[in-house]
Amino acid sequence: MGDAGVIDWDFAARTGARLAPRGPRTSRYTAEAVLAELADASVRAEAPVREVTGLADGLPVPAARVLDRPEWIAAASSSMRELMAERNGDDDGDGDRSFLGGKPGGLQAGAMLAFLSTAILGQYDPFTGPNGTLLLVAPNVVAVERALRVPPSDFRLWVCLHEVTHRVQFSSSPWLAGYMKECVSTLGDGADEPLSAVVSRLSEALRNRDEPTDGIVGLLRATQAPAQREALDRLLMLGTLLEGHADHVMDAVGPTVVPSVGRIREAFDARRTRKQNPVQRILRALLGMDAKMAQYVRGKAFVDAVVGQVGMAQFNAVWTDAETLPRTDEIEAPERWTARVLG
């Protein structure tokens, strides 16, 4: 990224913490109970997830971090700094340290993180700590379980089943984190490209209608050079696999350990598809959150189909290396992946 793209991540974290709305009101006793139960659920979820997936057998179970919204913003800023440091070649990832260096980007990033901090239930961060870090955002878990009117203990374990699956994915396939960094770095390589080249590609795509330009992701693809477009596609396919696999595992494990899993799934899916006001719709589109929701659906359909056909043990060939990940034409046609990878 050039100077215009430098972000002061310390400033972003401070800005996001100031802008983030307060979480739901709870007593001190309730708040402490939520912290303890989420920490315990993140450990209890590990064994059934490993049993269903057949992954990470014998690996240690690192403790999760249970956070409030400002703490999640600080953690997310630190993770992004790690990614950008490698891309920029900086020691700290913040680039220019002049008076305004990185402040405009930090303000924008902080506002984005403040909005996202209200929506994230949990997240596995593969870029911090020796074994990555599982993050659980306590106030958001409480807010959603109250909105859905589902049993709190069941919902907290259900959320942990999804997030622990991400931890199992990355811990059993250490190459995944490096692969993600490589894709992000390639995306950043096009940041200094002349605006005229970007506009030219977009105009051509709109004129020829040979590129999908619906939505923010389609528009982004249409403006990118081939190398960046390929990197974006690889990231999108990886995200689709990771989220779909986590949803598949969550539903496979759920009935045996979460008594009200059917009620939770029904209420949660209804929440995902509910209507938002115009401002929320715009923000969700700009931040790619609607594309994220599509990843859950498309990815789970892919994993359901392959596991249903060949079983989980053979499906796990997907975690071998970058060449065994599903390609863009295989997510909607799982049989193509099975034929290519499994023969």
Secondary structure percentages of the chain, helix, strand, coil, to 5: 70, 5, 30
Check residue 55 and give left, alpha or beta (phi > 0: left; psi -120 to 50: alpha): beta
Report DSSP state, residue 124.
E
Give one word for 90, left, alpha or beta, with left for phi > 0 and alpha for psi -120 to 50.
Answer: beta
Q: What is the DSSP code (8-state) at residue 134?
A: E
Is the four-CA dihedral 255, 261, 262, 268 of positive or negative sign? negative
How wide is the angle at C-alpha 129 spanned by C-alphas 55 and 315, nearest 5°?
A: 20
What pLDDT shows up at residue 19? 95
pTM of the model: 0.81
Interhelix angle 261-272/226-257, nearest 10 degrees: 150
Q: Residue 85: its pLDDT value, please?
A: 66
Residue 191 in tokens:
């940041």
Torsion of CA 206, 212, 217, 222, to 10 degrees: -40
Q: Quick one: which of 239, 77, 42 has its CA closest to 156?
A: 42
Question: Could you give the 3-state DSSP secondary structure of residue 80?
Answer: helix
Residue with tokens 């959150």: 289
- DSSP string across 234-272: HHHHHHHHHHHHHHHHHHHHHHHH-TTHHHHHHHHHHHH
* CB distance 303 to 315 below 8 Å: yes
Cα of 215 vs its chain's centroid, Å: 19
Walk along the chain (343 residues) and give the pLDDT tens digit of each residue.
334 457 899 999 999 999 999 899 999 999 999 999 999 999 999 999 999 999 999 998 889 999 999 999 999 999 888 877 655 555 555 554 444 557 888 898 999 899 899 999 999 999 887 778 999 999 999 999 999 999 999 999 999 999 999 999 999 999 999 999 898 888 776 555 444 443 443 444 445 544 444 444 555 555 567 787 888 889 889 999 999 999 999 989 988 899 999 999 899 888 766 655 554 444 444 445 455 556 778 899 999 999 999 999 999 999 999 999 999 999 999 999 999 999 8
